[in-house]
Structure 1
Amino acid sequence: MLNKECLKIAFYGKGGIGKSTIASNLSAAFATLGMKVLHIGCDPKGDSTRTLMGYKIPTLLNILEKDTPIYEEDFLFKGYKNVHCIEAGGPKPGMGCAGRGIITVIEELTDFKIFDKQWDVIIYDVLGDVVCGGFSTPIREKLIDAVYIVTSSEFMSIYAANNIMKSINTFSSMNGALLGGIIHNCRSSNSNIEIVQKFSKDCNTSILDTIPYSKNLGVSELKAKTVVENLPNSPVSYSFIQLAKKIINNKDYHIPNSLDDNLMEKLSESILKEITKE
């Protein structure tokens, strides 16, 4: 496993859907499996790696603003099981383009030859639903092999997932990244997998796995830890280990069929029927 070419993947999804929780726990899971992991947080909040490090690390953009000599150790940190962590960061709200910040960070990491190191896995945790060209940088610049979309059964989460698929369609035609599949994140005990299954079928893709709802995830995050570290023997921790193995062995990288507005409206109607039926 460790002798294979580096696996480069990105996680996208609606803001607040639990994408960073899944990305950071997967980084911990990959490391638990003995892999050398680089985790890059691409969110202005700079909190993707907090549970891997136990605290918020300085962001590369903030370091660049100081206009002083920069060294690798200023922005590359070792967290849980030696997961290497970088936070891109971004401008203050209303003060600039966060997407442009990601482009700048990628350029800096390239100059520092960070991507040339011997990684087994590189993970990008990317903000939002790719409405900005900057946030599509990992896809557009061919920095990754595949995208994994995190969604719940809520319509706006699925709507964002569909937008992401549109971007994947655009860049796949330019030899960019393909879709690796959907990760269904149960944000509550009422999450409806049938809705996500219908959406994935309509889009010619599949649900790679489901992360079950667990209060242990929130408890672990309050301790600034992944659940993989905090409760390694828990069922939800086991789910992340199993998902990591599925991602390692996944060969089904493909171009999805994003839905047009009419099909999304029909999906909305079917979701309404599903959640209101007795």
Structure 2
Amino acid sequence: MSSSTIPAEAAITLMRNMALRAEAAVEPAPVSTGPVTKETQIIAIYGKGGIGKSFTLANLSYMMAQQGKKVLLIGCDPKSDTTSLLFGGRACPTIIETSSRKKLAGEPVAIGDVCFKRDGVYAMELGGPEVGRGCGGRGIIHGFELLEKLGFHEWGFDYVLLDFLGDVVCGGFGLPIARDMCQKVIVVASNDLQSLYVANNVCSAVEYFRKLGGNVGVAGMVINRDDGTGEAAAFAGQVGIPVLSVIPANDDIRRKSASYEIIGRPDSPWGPLFAQLADNVGTSLPVRPKPMTQDQLLGLFSADTVGRNVVLEPATQFDMCGKTEIKRETLEVVYDAA
């Protein structure tokens, strides 16, 4: 490369950098407040592991189907437990396992190999790698690549519900938000710090990608196992998202869920609750949340609960080594100003 070409290349690089900075400085348009225009609503549901996403989604999808909607439920959690309640505890063959098996046999994956149905609800599990043998997020990415090959964007569903683990710091689990693969996000939480911490992380991810030009918004929160203490509702109010449903901490719900019984039926005592949730999910609008800081999140709870009164005491060299640190003069040469 001749020396005469270097200034020209540097100038081009400078111009590109200036253009990128100018583009990044433009504030994105506000999130849409009009009705969802896509025929299929693709909704990603996030929450802490064990918070009840699968329970909520199984009953929600069942109720939607009973209301005449065509619903596809996709489990995107490596535990592969999203469809267990829907199918009475039976394990659903996962896309990743099936894909690997078919590939070894030299056979293509068909819809009937990975998608199953019950009472109008279509469901599948992406799955994940074996324990300690791979990245769960990467498994999600691979799963969606296969779904696209199977014609995912051509399927005619009213709703596609994606059940995601709340660990959006992983690129795979943040996929729907990062790539605008869904129109809106719903968080499932309870009145405990950890589930609200995850919900806040999801809101932060949505806000981050909104600043980069993304279009996904948060449509609301489902409060599960509500004990009446009010922290989850307070969180929703402060970040600016609606509460779509409050599912109480109830022994009847717990027992029926543990025995793989669907309670989101029109003839169930809990039917009206899930019918209202289905209506709220369908009509809710994606909004741009205002994530809380860690201190603000802790402020939702009493000081005795979260330890806000604890004082951070710096450790010393004596604490670490059992001896006093020897202070040595610096060897740095400091020159007087000319």
- TM-score if structure 1 supplies the norm length? 0.88
| 2:73 and 2:124 in contact (8 A); partners too | yes
Q: What are the superposed Cα offsets for residues 28-54 of structure 1, whole Å, 9 maximum, x if unpaired?
A: 011011000110000112110122223
Which position in structure 2 is the counterpart of 1:107?
145
Distance of 1:4 and 1:264 partners within structure 2:
35
> Do structure 1's residue 28 and structure 2's residue 62 form an aligned pair?
yes
> Do structure 1's residue 235 and structure 2's residue 269 form an aligned pair?
yes
Distance of 2:287 and 2:155 partners within structure 1:
28
| 1:9 and 1:144 in contact (8 A); partners too | yes
Distance of 1:203 and 1:39 partners within structure 2:
27
Which position in structure 1 is the counterpart of 2:79?
45
Match 2:114 to one of 72, 75, 81:
75
Q: What are the superposed Cα offsets for residues 196-247 of structure 1, whole Å, 9 maximum, x if unpaired?
A: 2221222122212211223333333344332125xx4333232111100111
Distance of 1:4 and 1:98 partners within structure 2:
29
| 1:212 and 1:236 in contact (8 A); partners too | no
Q: CA RMSD in A?
A: 2.0
Aligned residue runs from structure 1 range 79-228, under 5 A: 79=118, 81-173=119-211, 174-186=213-225, 190-192=227-229, 194-228=230-264
Which position in structure 1 is the counterpart of 2:99?
64
Q: What are the superposed Cα offsets for residues 140-192 of structure 1, whole Å, 9 maximum, x if unpaired?
A: 221211100111011111111111111111122332411001111125xx342
Q: 1:272 Cα shift? A: 4.1
Letter in structure 2 aligned against 1:12: Y
Distance change (3 Å), C-alpha of 1:223 and 1:267 = closer
Distance of 2:168 and 2:272 partners within structure 1:
30
Distance change (3 Å), C-alpha of 1:271 and 1:241 = farther
Which position in structure 1 is the counterpart of 2:42?
8
Which position in structure 2 is the counterpart of 1:276?
none
Q: What are the superposed Cα offsets for residues 98-134 of structure 1, whole Å, 9 maximum, x if unpaired?
A: 0110000111000110331110100001113312110
Q: Which has the higher helix share?
A: 1
Count residues with an aligned counterpart.
264
Gaps of 5+ in 2: 1-36, 307-338
| 1:50 and 1:225 in contact (8 A); partners too | no
Distance of 2:121 and 2:281 partners within structure 1:
17
Q: 1:271 Cα shift? A: 8.6
Distance change (3 Å), C-alpha of 1:212 and 1:266 = closer
Which position in structure 1 is the counterpart of 2:7?
none
Distance change (3 Å), C-alpha of 1:51 and 1:115 = farther
| 1:12 and 1:128 in contact (8 A); partners too | yes
Gaps of 5+ in 1: 274-278
Q: Which moved more, 1:23-32 or 1:173-182?
A: 173-182
Distance of 2:242 and 2:171 partners within structure 1:
26
